[in-house]
Amino acid sequence: MRIASLSDYLLPRVNRAPASQEGARIPRVPRAPVNRQIYQLIREAILAQTLPAGLQLPSSRDLAGELGTSRNTVTYAYEQLLAEGYLESRAGAGTFVADTAPDQIPETVERTVPLTDPSGKSELSARGAMLTRQAGVSDKQWGAFMPGIPDVTQFPSKVWSRLQNKHWRRSQAEMLTYGPGAGYGPLREAIAEYLRISRSVNCNASQVLITTGIHQSLDTVVKLLGEHGDSAWIEDPCYWGTRSVLNSLGIESVPIPVDQEGMRMRLANLRRPPRFICTTPSHQYPLGMVMSLSRRRMLLEYAATHKVWIIEDDYDSE
C-alpha cells in the first residue's frame, strides 16, 4: 500500500481519545504523547515501504494544520526521524524519505567451528558458556557470615555525606572529566606514603595504579605480564573471582592445597614453574589462616629464581 496523503494516513491512527472511547477499526498507536505517535507511525510506514524512499513529505507547518495540532508537535517527530536517518533534508527542496533498505550482505565463508554453544541451549559462544559455568559466583552477595563482606549497616553514612557535601562545594572543573589512566595523582601519592610508613614498602606514586578492585587489577596485570596458555598457581580453595578472571584470559589455573601455614607446594608443582602465583598470605580467603614466614620466604626465593610474578590479594588489611 502506498500513501496518497500523509495526513489522511495519520489522522485515524493518532490516538487522542480517552481510553473509554477507544475502539476504532483502524489500529491505533498505544496512547502516548502525540508527537511520539506521529514519529512512530511515520517510522513504521517507512520501514514497511508504505512511504517509499525519495517521497517528499509535507512541511511541518502544512502537516500540523492538516492534523489540527501544533507545529512543534510535528517538528519534534521530523527532527527525531532526521536524527535517526529515516528522513533527509535537502536545502531549498524540503524533507524526503531516506533510502533505508539494507545493503546487500555478501556471501560469507562457511565456518567449520560452531560459534555458539554446541548444546544449542545458549546464544553464548562455547567459550562464553564455559566461562559462565565456571564463574562460581554466589546468588547471595550480602548478609551475615558472608566471607569478605563487611557489615555495611555500620557505615557512617551521615559523616560520609557531610564530608562529601563539604568537598563538593569546592569541586574543581578538572575533577569532573577524564583523569590520569593510573588514577588521581594526589591519591596515588598518599597511598605510596602510607605504604612507606605502615608497610615499609619502598615505592613512589609512579608505581601505584588505582583500580576498581581485584578483578580489574588481576585482569590488567595478567594481560600485561602474561601470555595466553600460561599457568598460574591458585590457592585451593580460593576466591572464585581469581579463578574466573584467569580462565577468561586463557590462563591455566593450577590449584595448590593450603594447610595451616598457607599454600603447600609439592615437588611436582615446583618442577613446573608457573607464570603467576596468586595468593592471600595475610588472611587466606576463605579459610583465614596466615601464611608462615618460612613459606613466604620460600615463595619469594622460588619466584626470583624462576622469574615468576607473585600477585598478592591483600583484601582486608585496611
Mean pLDDT of all residues in 81-104:
87
**Whole-number pLDDT of residue 13:** 86
| Residue 20 or 76, more confident | 76
Question: Which of 143-147, 182-186, 201-205, 297-301 is the least confident region?
Answer: 143-147
> How far apart are alpha carbons 62 and 202 in whole angstroms?
75
Q: Does the pTM exceed 0.85?
A: no
**Whole-number pLDDT of residue 26:** 46
What interhelical angle do 240-248 and 126-133 show, nearest 10?
A: 170
Q: Quick one: 109 exposed, middle or buried, by C-beta within 10 A (0-12, 13-18, 19+)?
A: exposed
Q: Are 288 and 282 in contact (CB under 8 A)?
A: no
pLDDT digit string (tens) for 45-88?
999 888 999 999 999 999 999 999 999 999 999 999 999 999 99
Q: How far is CA 31 from CA 8, 34, 37, 42, in A?
A: 19, 8, 8, 16
Q: Give the pLDDT band of residue 101 (cuts 50, 70, 90).
A: confident
pLDDT digit string (tens) for 164-175?
999 888 888 888
> How far apart are alpha carbons 220 and 224 in whole angstroms?
6
